Amino acid sequence: MTTDQEGALEGVLIVYKEAGWTSHDVVAKVRSLLHGSKVGHAGTLDPSATGVLPILVGRATRIAEYLIDWDKEYHAVLRLGETTDTQDATGRVLTKVDPCEVPEDMLQAVLTRFRGVQQQLPPMYSAVKVGGQPLYKAARAGKTVEREERSIAIHQLEILAGHGRDVALRIVCSKGTYIRTLCADIGQAVGVGGHLLTLERRRVGPLSIEQAMTIDQVAGHLTTGALRGQFISLDQLLFQLPAVVVNDEQAQRVLHGSPIFPMGAGQLPSSPTAVSVRLKDEAGRLLAIGTHDTGRVGSIRIHKVLSHLSH
């Protein structure tokens, strides 16, 4: 957790989104609890889904682009034998067959085809924009829009349990993966159709469901003064970026957004492309995110200033 100059709460809260809430509902509620603080989220969950929703507060909203690339883990229930127009349980049933002839070994064999890097067609009921309009608006109007497949990666896909036509799955995947589309595609591949019955997000990057708080718990911690201890700092969230320590003179240049040539840049891992780095002062304060240009000896350009100038 970090604070701004006024001592306001700042950082990331790991919220457990309950069914029926939109991700925007959660953001609005936290903003209300924190009396108008700048609040955002990293990684939308559908209203019917539950689980981990990272809530960004204060300057943490400025680092969302560094969090959305994190992989995600889900527990999903695939219902075999039923297809819906939304690919999940909120939609209208389109087809219904008896899935009892799908043996587990057949399902296991099909799952192997869905592991690894692959192309996925975004569902019509999604916020993906085509021609500036979200697909779900066209879907609600009964239209089907031409859309491009996207590259995704399914890192892990395994059966947790099977109960008749319902199959519980554990999925670890890249950003941009639609689990309901994955379930619909698996159902189609086994020949009986299927849709996503329930979905819980268990993890976003290093943020796990074991750390998550419901909105009521967030409000309770705020009332007792314990919420400050629940925040994760920007520095902790950006742990995957190499850290470069700068001296006082360089720190002032960083806070003005000027490029620098720190000695420590030579110790960064070599890379054929520009590398994002954390810039910290000698006291350990996170100042900014920069880009280390390996093509120019030791040059670091400032991308985002995350701290205040000293007075």
Catalytically active residues are 46
SS3 of residue 85 by DSSP: coil
Q: Which helix (H) or strand (E) holds 52?
A: strand 50-57
Per-residue buried b or exposed e for 255-274, using 16+ beta carbons within 10 Å of the residue's own CB: beeeebebebbeebeeeeeb
Amino acid at residue number 186: I
13 has which bridge partners? Answer: 55
275 vs 131: CA distance, rounded Å: 33
Q: Which of 11, 68, 64, 9 shows the shortest CA–CA distance to 234?
A: 11
Q: Tell me the HSE value of 252 on the side-chain side, using a 13 A CA sphere.
A: 4
Q: What Å distances lie between residue 211 and 24, 61, 216, CA to CA? A: 21, 20, 15
Strands 275-280 and 243-245: parallel
Tell me which residue has tokens 């400025």. Answer: 62
Amino acid at residue number 286: L
177 vs 187: CA distance, rounded Å: 17
- Within 8 A by CB and 6+ apart from 241, the residues are 66, 276, 277, 278, 289
Print the SS3 string covering 227-269. HHHHCECHHHHCCCCCEEECCHHHHHHHHCCCCECCHHHHHCC
